[in-house]
Amino acid sequence: MNRRDRRRAEARGPTLDELTLLAVAKAIKAESGVTYHRIVDPRREDGRVTFGLAFPQRKAIHAPEGCTPKDLYLLAHECGHVALKHNHQKPRHVREYEAEMWAHAALQRNGIAVPDDSTADAMLNVFFAISDAVERGQFGRRAKRLSAEAAEWSGWNFHVQCQRAREDTSYLPHST
Ligand SMILES: [Zn+2]
């Protein structure tokens, strides 16, 4: 949506679909125990596709309002961190994986299909969090079962398999 379309949309007020999504956003916040929501618009954050923060101890989130399915997913992800009372005792890739699972279930429970793009972004989020943990030598040391699940779900295991296959072919004799 460009700036002029957005201004028009704002002048027009929310549509019925947006009202449905906002009602679901409210329900998801209530389910998660979130009591403070600062609305941030990811489209206005220069160069950043996704934007949200969670403060589980304060039951607070910074997230989009939730009037598109994708924004609703981002909101549900932050609500997930609050609902699951996440803190630094869990590795980050496990927290992210759990928040993505919570967000998927929250939308489904409220009758909203998770957009494919949101699932793809969620998988990448977990994938990169695992990649960070691997780089720091911290992957799979704690929360082994959840780490294994996250590695499977995010495509990390597939990535590792592909890398191994590529390394193996380097041992093959070159025929040319
Ligand atoms: Zn998160």
Task: Tell me the mean pLDDT per 10 residues along the chain, length 176.
Answer: 68 80 97 96 59 94 94 97 96 97 97 96 97 94 95 97 84 58
Contact at 8 Å (CB) between 47 and 69? no
Contact at 8 Å (CB) between 72 and 109? no
- The rounded Å distance from CA 122 to ligand 1 centre is 9
- Strand stretches in the chain, DSSP E: 36-39, 53-55, 60-63
> Which of 140, 143, 142, 169 lies closest to 157 in space, CA to CA?
140
Could you list the residue range(s) of the whole structural domain that residue 23 is in? 13-166
- 77 within some domain: yes
- 175 within some domain: no
CA angle, 126 as apex, 135 and 142 as ends, to 5°?
60
- 135 within some domain: yes
Q: In total, how many domains does the chain have?
A: 1
- 1 within some domain: no
pLDDT value for 162: 92
- The rounded Å distance from CA 169 to ligand 1 centre is 37
pLDDT value for 43: 65
pLDDT value for 13: 74
Give this prediction's pTM: 0.85
- The rounded Å distance from CA 164 to ligand 1 centre is 30
Q: For the chain, what is the radius of gyration of the CA atoms? A: 19
pLDDT value for 86: 98
- The rounded Å distance from CA 52 to ligand 1 centre is 8
- The rounded Å distance from CA 118 to ligand 1 centre is 13
- 4 within some domain: no
- The rounded Å distance from CA 4 to ligand 1 centre is 32
- 3 within some domain: no
Strand partners, 54: 61
- 8 within some domain: no
- The rounded Å distance from CA 77 to ligand 1 centre is 6
- 153 within some domain: yes
